[in-house]
Structure 1
């Protein structure tokens, strides 16, 4: 059936010029035309079935006018096209959310898959080094399903055998620019499969107003802003410790005040106490009346307040030993949140070595033993280096706002966070665009989440003070 044409034998070829490569004609096997046609038809049918299975709505909308024209003529085909256009337009005008969820995003996904990803897949994979061209054949990762949301494209990819997640994480810039996106984030969907996120626009580009004060008293996760996918950003403060790192003007105060604002009903109910340490005397002092005598500004008072929190923690630990393993806020044993603004001034830049040791020891004790008995720490700093904050790994949840250097991202969020898309060093320094924007890495997940904290204005803080003091 197959006919082999002879070629040159490589061992009999001789060249008289050492710098010239030996060129020989290899043996060629001719495939019968019928086999080639069968393979071509099989691939065409398989592609058609796969297209109908993955994109039934788009395929039906495309096929119905053609079938109508064939069976009933061009006039009925025009009426069909008019009906197909009128129904979705009317649906979109009446109830836009359900139209986008059921039809709109699927049509957009079909268009993006065909015109953007499948069209540029081969050159992007080869040039970025994620694919290989060997002996005239391309070995490419398999492009899977494309799903569109209101702000991004979610692309599923099956890696080549032998590839790792790091191979893709190191080439996020190639992928982003190759497919015309601002950035690309890589996460593991399951074994051998990745989920690539390509944002189409930035839903966090505009500042957010302060979140309304909750109606019910709760120490559960408090709403402090918005996630990139549109969900409310709820920050867990009870049962954990939170570290916020960001350069000057990055919006650390927005997170601190939004967390305090979310706990305000619980403060008024006696279920929460907020202890404030404000070495700069600027951020937290604006609402000083909220904290009463649990406010400290000088290093001496900060050390005393931290040591007092340690005493409360140890007293509770003695009472809870053998009786309970978790803390439930009550009026007798309220949740104590220690808010520290610019903690680096107390732990690294403090000239008095005695005070520095006292403060570092108290913070280390609180962050290692406090959350089980209802004492949490919410700390903010500008410089996340180890010599500045040597206990940063004791904070389970971390937030990285705008940072000056790319290395600082992994210092705050952990190794590999920037490779997975936490580009905190690329956040805009313009306050209207980047203040409060950051990336969160939770204790339960290694993948960073892009968020923006709501801005709490001076007027909002005055209203909060009046509500509590009244």
Structure 2
């Protein structure tokens, strides 16, 4: 019997052709099992019941309120319902007028969060994530990250997201711009969540730091906390508190970025303890311009002159020697520092830090200054010494001591690479866009990002602007008999 091989044509019986070909692979099809219609109805009914219970549990408060109002209207009629609603609205209005902070916390913010969850994020969640490439399709089924919770603030929203299995936060950081445009935000930052597999998305709706902040009032002595001095405002509207006790602070920013605002706001917050003798400020001012207005407030003041050794380097060496003497006295006696009149808390403010570590023309003076700074920053925290260093150049070769500053502030920088140089690796990917801060003084001066020793996430802040008149008032407050013009 002769076998005939030919190309199949439309209408040919495939099974017959396969039987004629001894080399054809066997054809296998899984058995088809037809579910009984009654079982299908039971399964669908159970699904509807589970989803209904989940919806009621998730929206227990609004469901309970609406159910109660509906029963009230059905039982007593709509006039009673209208009176009850009027009384409730009146009560809420009185609450908002009498204690607005608690009203915002317990009523306004939760209501706003619920509204934005439904009207903004849940409504656009799937199309935005599909377009951004954050979903996965497996065997014809689409897997979508879960929207867990939304917390709305005055200027931003925090959205808690449960990522897909095997997904990393870096995947969300790469499409942050897509998410911002998709949900109508100006900026999106990715933060670690409350547990592995979850992240927080910070959607910034408007810039709360676009307007300059005037100098803050001088606090009462009892309100001064060296572990959290109020010197400005954070992006979420809360006070920006800078810690000095037990740390050192590095401030980096281009010319006109507002380094003086951070320094003078800090000194202003310290003023009550400074005048009381519990805090001393030793200032080093190579430019002879930034700190000279308040030199009457400083315990010691050094500036660049014809003899830079006497003005600045010896001041640093004196601070290092005194710090070592204090450490020797405290050894074996105490492990924590408390300011006193005998041992005040000393803040060493160094403006233009790079001048002492890189630009000073005398090589010997550079080495001596760097050695003294290394001693102060490596050993001074535990005995009541804090170094605040400000510089323009963020390069490592300019300041190789920056790793000894636990807390760092990046104001406006010229290049994106400088952000990680100042705040540490990965800071820009986490949202510290210091290179995109506006160079217009009214918009960007004093605006920056803070990265603390205790957390890797940078926070956007703005320091209050302390004018020359404010500094003169500070000097007059502490030294009323002093000739202010002569001091300036």
The TM tier, using the shorter chain, reads 0.7 to 0.9
Give the 5 Å matches for 1:169-184: 169-184=173-188
Kept in 2: contact 1:219–1:266 (CA 8 A): no
1: CA distance, partners of 2:92 / 2:338: 52
Hey, what does 1:21 align to over in structure 2? none
Counterpart among 402, 407, 412 of residue 417 in structure 2: 407
Name the CA distance, whole Å, in 2 between partners of 1:360 and 1:451. Answer: 30
1:127 positional shift: 2.3
Matches within 5 A, 1:348-359: 348-359=358-369
Q: Is the 8 A contact 1:424 1:438 kept in 2?
A: yes
CA distance in 1, matches of 2:118, 2:414: 39
262-271 or 35-44, larger mean C-alpha shift = 35-44
Change (3 A) 1:323 1:96: closer
Counterpart in the other structure of 1:17: none
- TM-score scaled to structure 1, two decimals? 0.86
Q: 2:166 aligns with which of 162, 178, 183?
A: 162
2:359 alignment partner, SS class? coil
- In the TM superposition, residue 241 of structure 1 has moved relative to its aligned partner by 0.5
**TM-aligned CA deviation for residue 275 of structure 1:** 0.8
Aligned to 2:356: 346
Match of 1:48 among 48, 52, 59: 52
After TM superposition, give the deviation of residue 367 of structure 1 in Å.
0.8
- The Cα shift of 1:444 comes to 1.4
Are 2:261 and 1:257 equivalent residues in the alignment? no
CA distance in 2, matches of 1:147, 1:460: 38
Alignment equivalent of 1:287, drawn from 294, 303, 311: 294
Please identify, of 397-406 and 324-333, the stretch whose mean Cα deviation from structure 2 is larger.
324-333
Q: Which residue of 1 aligns with 2:216?
A: 211
CA separation of 1:173 and 1:70: change in aligned 2, threshold 3 A: same
Q: Which residue of 2 aligns with 1:429?
A: 439
Asked if 1:247 corresponds to 2:254, the answer is yes
- Distance (whole Å) between structure 1 residues aligned to residue 101 and residue 257 of structure 2: 34
2:287 and 2:303 in contact (8 A); partners too: no
Question: Where does structure 2 lack aligned partners over 5 or more consecutive residues?
Answer: 1-13, 19-28, 481-488
Q: Is 1:126 the counterpart of 2:127 in the alignment?
A: no
Correspondence for 1:272: 279
Q: What is the CA–CA distance in structure 2 between the aligned matches of 1:253 and 1:352, rounded to whole Å?
A: 27
Deviation at 1:27, TM superposition (A): 8.9
**CA RMSD between the two structures:** 2.8
- Paired residue secondary structure (1:209): coil
Q: Give the superposition deviation at 1:152.
A: 2.1
Deviation of residue 263 (structure 1)? 1.4
CA contact (8 A) 1:58 1:110 kept: no
| Residue 397 of structure 1, CA deviation | 0.7
Q: In the TM superposition, what whole-angstrom CA distance separates every residue of 1:180-229 from its partner, at most 9, and x where no partner exists?
A: 11112222221222122212223222222212222216562322112223
Residues 249 and 40 of structure 1: CA distance in aligned 2, closer, same or farther (over 3 Å) = farther
How many Å separate the matches in 1 of 2:207 and 2:415? Answer: 22
The residue that corresponds to 1:230 in the other structure is 237
Is the deviation greater in 59-68 or in 167-176?
A: 59-68
Structure with max Cα Rg: 2
Residue 146 of structure 2 aligns with which residue?
142
Post-superposition CA distance 1:427-465 (Å, at most 9, x none) = 222222222122211111112222221111111100111
Q: For residue 327 of structure 1, what is the aligned residue in structure 2? A: 337
Report if the CA contact (8 A) 2:283-2:300 is conserved: no
Distance in 2 (alpha carbons) for counterparts of 1:65 and 1:30: 47
How many angstroms apart in 1 are the aligned matches of 2:235 and 2:440?
A: 19
Structure-2 change in CA distance of 1:27 and 1:109 (3 Å): farther
Contact 1:126 1:133 in 2 (8 A): no
1:220 equivalent in structure 2: 226
Q: Structure 1 stretch 302-311 or stretch 75-84: which is displaced more?
A: 75-84
8 Å CA contact retained: 1:398, 1:441: yes
Could you tell me whether the CA contact under 8 Å between 1:437 and 1:450 is conserved in 2?
yes
86 and 406 in structure 1: CA distance in 2 versus 1, 3 angstrom threshold: same
Q: Which residue of 1 aligns with 2:484?
A: none
- Which SS does the other structure have where 2:349 is aligned? strand
- In the TM superposition, what is the alpha-carbon distance from 1:82 to its structure 2 partner? 6.1
Deviations 1:285-323 (A, max 9, x none): 121222254332344321121111111112222222333
Distance of 2:233 and 2:76 partners within structure 1: 53
Residue from 376, 379, 402 that aligns with 1:369? 379
Query: Alpha-carbon deviations, 1:124-157, whole Å to 9, x = none?
Result: 2222222112332111111111222233222111
The whole-number CA distance in structure 2 between the counterparts of 1:429 and 1:36 is: 66
Select the residue among 294, 315, 318 that pairs with 2:325.
315
Q: For the structure 1 residues 39 and 198, does the alpha-carbon distance in structure 2 shift closer, same or farther, using more than 3 Å as the test?
A: farther
* Conserved? CA contact 1:156–1:196, under 8 Å: yes
3-state secondary structure, aligned to 1:294:
strand
Can you give the 5+ residue segments of structure 1 that lack an aligned partner in the other structure? 1-7, 13-24
Q: Partners in 1 of 2:312 and 2:329 — Cα distance?
A: 26
The question of whether the paired residues in 1 share the 8 Å contact of 2:235 and 2:460 is answered with yes
2:439 maps to 1:442: no
Aligned length: 449
Per-residue deviation, residues 71-119 of structure 1 (Å, max 9, x unmatched): 6777777677666666645654565443332232222222211221112
